Copies of this chain bind each other. A is one copy, B any other.
Amino acid sequence: MTKGKTGNSKFLKAYNETYILNLIRVNKSLSRADISKATGLSPTAAGGIVSSLIEKGYLCENGTGESKGGRRPVMLELKKNSRYSIGLDVDVDSVTFILMDIKGRVVFEWSSALVDNRPAAVASLAAEEIERVLSDCRIHKDKLLGIGISVPGMVDAETRRVVLAPNLSWEDADFGRMLREKIELPVYIENEAMASAICENWIGACKSVDNFICVNIKSGIGAGIFTGGRPYRGTGGSAGEVGHIVVDENGLACGCGNHGCLETIVSTGRIVEKAEKLIKKGLKSQLNEIENVSKVRLSNIVDAARSGNQAAGGLLEEAAGYLGIALSYLVNTLNPSKIVLGKDFVVYGDLVMDTLRRVVDRKALKRPAANVEIAVSEIGERSSTLGAAIIPLKILFGS
């Protein structure tokens, strides 16, 4: 772990402030002496930085700790209402928001339906929603560290433009800039699966995991990859596009030009379509639990599977089997410690995890298969919104 650095440059001061702020975040409560000890900085130097952080409003003193021989030390912690962050997740027909405080706690959470999901319209709506909630919560804009955005598409590594978000029909959209101009705050845009991975790494199942992959399964399928403890976005920012691994050469044509891509079989839309087809074919006995709903939803299929309906269960098992094939390639290629499956998969993961695991163990090489834990995200649907809100905090804490 990097420690405090001595010196008098502006850079070193900023470095030490960030370092100490993160130290307090991780340890929740520390005395000045603890900080001096942990950083290797002199008590005077450490004290100076603490004073500066208190002055800037990030830290506060809160009670006294246990004495180690002398006076009981004054304890320092992150100041509850000092700073906030907002994360928003853009989906096809809605935007989900999370307002988070400096301690990483969710203060408020809401979503807003999208009538028009073109970039400019979404940016206007997001800006309005954020202003409204800040006002309702009586939080001054100055206290907002920034806005993190999660989008279901490729984000250019350099320009941070949304290169392509097929389900939103966005192409080369500078959504980040649009929102920045309206809200006049720092804005950070991220691919949805990477936002989920950031969330799992900060507060979820991958806190101290260096090499892991979050695979989000919903209308599309994408992965957020961490290598060596850091987000790996690839050269252009499009790493993790695993939805187009071919898992059935004789499968349906995909928009990408291939046949039998993972997405054409395992996406939620495709599972629902298959259920609808079964119903249309009049297989009432097979899917009788859901034949009467006007529009089949994933939840109907999952409910039916849970009540023992074999056709419904079979649809989910089949999807898990194909997902297992794609995961086996990721296991062989990246040898991760963990794969976390999120979004819609969370709803039915427990039903099919055995099948999925069996396929990975059979298809991947023995050794990397033995290395990898495969789990359903415990955070669920919110992972990308939470991850988006975490981005400005990560920058503040330099971690």
Contact = CB atoms under 8 A, between A and B. Distances in A.
Interface of A: 6-7, 154, 163-164, 210-211, 223, 225, 227-228, 230, 232-242, 244-246, 248-250, 256-258, 325, 329-330, 332-337, 362-365, 367-368, 370-372
A244 B363 CA distance: 9
Given A232-B228, A363-B257, A239 B334 contact: yes
Contact of A330 (B163, B333, B363): B333
A335 B32 CA distance: 46
A249 B363 CA distance: 12
A335 B365 contact: no
Nearest to A256: B365
Contact of A236 (B242, B256, B257, B335): B335
A367 B256 contact: no
B228 A335 contact: no
Contact of A333 (B228, B333, B335): B333
B335 A257 contact: no
B325 A246 contact: yes
Most interface-central of A237, A250, A329 (chain B CB within 10 A): A329
Contacts of A335: 233-241
A200 to B, nearest CB: 16
Copies of this protein in the assembly total: 2
21 contacts: A225-B333, A227-B232, A233-B335, A234-B334, A234-B335, A235-B336, A235-B372, A236-B367, A236-B370, A237-B335, A238-B365, A238-B367, A239-B334, A239-B368, A241-B332, A241-B333, A241-B368, A242-B332, A244-B332, A245-B329, A246-B325
A105 B317 CA distance: 57
- Pick the most buried of A227, A228, A244, A246: most chain B CB atoms within 10 A of its CB: A227
A69 to B, nearest CB: 29
Contacts of A257: 362-363
Contacts of A256: 365
A339 to B, nearest CB: 11
B258 A363 contact: yes
B333 A235 contact: no
Contacts of A368: 234-236, 238-239, 241
A244 B368 CA distance: 12
Given A234-B371, A239-B368, 17 more contacts: A163-B367, A211-B234, A227-B227, A232-B334, A234-B335, A234-B336, A235-B336, A235-B337, A236-B368, A236-B370, A237-B335, A239-B334, A241-B368, A242-B332, A244-B365, A245-B333, A330-B333
A276 B337 CA distance: 42
Nearest to A230: B228
Contacts of A372: 235
